[in-house]
Amino acid sequence: MSIDWNAYPSEGFYDELVAGNGHRAIAGLLADLEALGPEELVARQEAADVSIKEMGITFTVYSEEGGAIDRTWPFDIIPRIIAQSEWERVDAGLRQRVQALNLFIDDLYHDQKVIKDGVFPAEVLAKSVNFRPQCVGVDPPLGIWAHICGSDLVRDADGTLYVLEDNLRVPSGVSYMLENRLVTKRVLPELFEHYAPLPVDDYPSELFDTLAALSPRPADYPAVVVLTPGIYNSAYFEHSYLAQQMGCELVEGRDLFVDKDDCVYMRTVDGLARVDVVYRRIDDLFLDPEAFLPDSALGVPGLMRAWKAGNVALANAPGAGVADDKVVYAFVPELIRYYLDADPIIPNVPTYRCMEPDALAYTLENMERLVVKPANESGGYGMLVGPASTKAEREHFAELIKKDPRNYISQPALKLSTVPTIIGKKLEPRHVDLRPFILSADRQQVTMGGLTRVAMRKGSLVVNSSQGGGSKDTWIVPEPPQAEE
C-alpha cells in the first residue's frame, strides 16, 4: 500500500511538506516517503523508538503528587525540511535579534538610555520579576549577558515565519536536537545520504569555544564546568550529555566553593582545581545563597562575588532573564531599531500589550479569538487559548488581566503550520514550532536548524514535552541542482 498525498488531511493549515513541494528537495522527499509506504515507515518508527530507549534519551516530568517520572524522548521520524535559502535569512535575523537583546540587557544594568529616550517604559522594568539589582554596574566578559539563547519560531497559515518568544535564562532542548539527528541517521540512512542535510553535530565544540572565550585567564584549554541542580531536574539528561560531549566536568553546587581570593574552586580527588567558566543550568535565585535565596542548597556561596570580581565567567550571566519576559518580547522590534538602526529581519507575532489602554480594551473584547499569555510563565502553562476556551475561563482571565495589565500580552491565535507525522499506522498533520540556538561570545553562531517540537495530540497547539509534545529532526537542505536535459 502506498501513500496517497492527495488524500492527506491538511485540514486548511499550511503543511510544510505538502505545500512546500515547489522546492525540489521537498518534492523529492514526498516521492521517497511514498515509495517507502506506510508499513515500512511504521517499522522504521518502531526501530527509532527502540533506539531511543537503548540510547537512554529521556526527559523528566513531574506529577501532581510531586513525584518525578523519567520518560523516553518522544520522536517522529518524518523529518522537517527547510530550504537553505530561507534559513540564511533566519540565521541573519536571529543574530540581529540576540545582538539587540544583549545590548538592551547591558543598557538596563548600566545607564538605562533606552528608558531615558522613551523607547522602553520604566514601569515595565519596575515590575520585572527577572531584573536583578545585584547585577547593576557589572561588566560581564565581552559585554555579553545571554551567551546561549533559544528563540522559538512558528510559521503561520501563509508560510510566514515569526519569532514567538526568546529564551534567555537557561534555554534547554539542544541535546535532543543532536540526538534526533543520530536516530534519523540510523533509521532513514538512505534518505539521509540522498538529501545530505547540513550538519548540527558541531554544536558541542561551538558551545565549548563560546564558553572558553569568556575565561578570565588566558589558556589554551580553560577549566569549564556544567553546573546542574542534580538528577531530579527535568533537563538533567541534557546537562550530563553536554558535559560529556564537551569534555567538561558535570558538577553540583556542593562540588564548588569560593575561597578568600574570590576565585572558584572545584573539589576533586586530586585536590582543588581552579574553575574559569561555569555553564550554569540553575536559575538565578538558587545560584548563590549569599546574593539571592539564603536557603538555596543548589548554588555556590560567594559565586556572585567571584563573578563581579572578574575571576570567573557565568553563562548565561545572572540577570539576563530581564529580557526573557513576554512583555519585553513585545518591544523587541523597537529595540532592534533603537540599538541597531535597522528593521527586524524576522517579525514578531502581532502582539497587544495589555498595559496600554487600547490594547487592553481590544483584548477584553476579543478573548475568544486571542491567545493571552502572562509575562513569565513557560512550558505552555498559565495561558489562555481563546478559541479552545470556555466562557468561565475567559471571565477568569479577564479578571486577572484587569488586576495586573502589565503582566499580560495577547496575540492572534495563529494557524500554526503542520508537518506529516506518524500516528498509529498512518500519516496525519501535526502542528510544529522550531527552537534554534544562538551562541554569542567573541563571535555568534546559529545552529543549522534546531529542535522541531511537535504537538502530538490532534488539534493541539502545545508542543512542550511536559504536556505531551514530541519532536522531529530538522533538515536544512540546499536546492539540488536541476538535472541536465
Domain limits of the chain? 7-86+172-201+432-477, 217-311, 353-412
User: What are 414-454's pLDDT values in tens digits?
Assistant: 889 999 999 988 889 999 999 999 999 999 999 999 999 99
Which 8-state DSSP code applies to residue 225?
E
pLDDT, position 102 = 98
Task: Tell which phi-psi region holds residue 262, choosing left (phi > 0), alpha (psi between -120 and 50) or beta.
Answer: left
pLDDT tens by residue, 30-49: 888 888 888 999 999 999 98
Cα separation, 466 vs 378, in Å, equals 11
Could you list the beta-strand ranges (E) of 237-360.
Answer: 249-251, 256-258, 264-268, 271-275, 277-280, 313-315, 352-353
In total, the chain counts a number of residues equal to 485
- Cα–Cα distance between 450 and 472 in angstroms, integer? 10
pLDDT per position as a tens digit, 236-254:
999 999 999 999 999 999 9
Sequential DSSP letters for 81-118: EEEHHHHHHHHHHHHHHHHHHHHHHHHHTTT-HHHHTT
- How far CA 311 is from CA of 93, 203, 218, 434, in Å, comes to 33, 26, 12, 36
Tell me: cis bond preceding 316? Omega within 30 of 0 counts: yes
Range with lowest mean pLDDT among 12-26, 30-44, 304-318, 431-445:
12-26
Asked if residue 277 lies in contact with residue 222, where contact means CB atoms within 8 angstroms, the answer is yes
E strands within 216-296?
A: 224-227, 249-251, 256-258, 264-268, 271-275, 277-280
Could you tell me if 102 and 144 are in contact, meaning their C-beta atoms sit under 8 angstroms apart? Answer: yes
pLDDT in tens, 459-478: 887 787 666 789 999 999 98
Rg, Å, the chain Cα set: 23
Residue where the block lists cell 582545581: 273
Handedness of CA 457, 394, 378, 80 (dihedral sign): positive
pLDDT band at 20 (very low <50, low <70, confident <90, very high): low
Report pLDDT for 380: 61
For domain 217-311, the CATH architecture is 3-Layer(aba) Sandwich (3.40)
pLDDT in tens, 75-110: 999 999 999 999 999 999 999 999 999 999 999 999
Q: Which CATH number does the domain 353-412 belong to among 3.30.420.10, 3.50.50.60, 3.50.40.10, 3.30.1490.270?
A: 3.30.1490.270
Any idea which residue has 496600554 for its cell? 356
> How confident is the prediction for the chain on average, in pLDDT?
91
Which CA distances in Å does 373 have to 248, 274, 345?
38, 43, 24
pLDDT at 225 exceeding the cut of 60 = yes
What is this structure's pTM? 0.93
Residues 6+ apart with CB under 8 A from 463: 380, 431, 432, 433, 453, 454, 455, 469
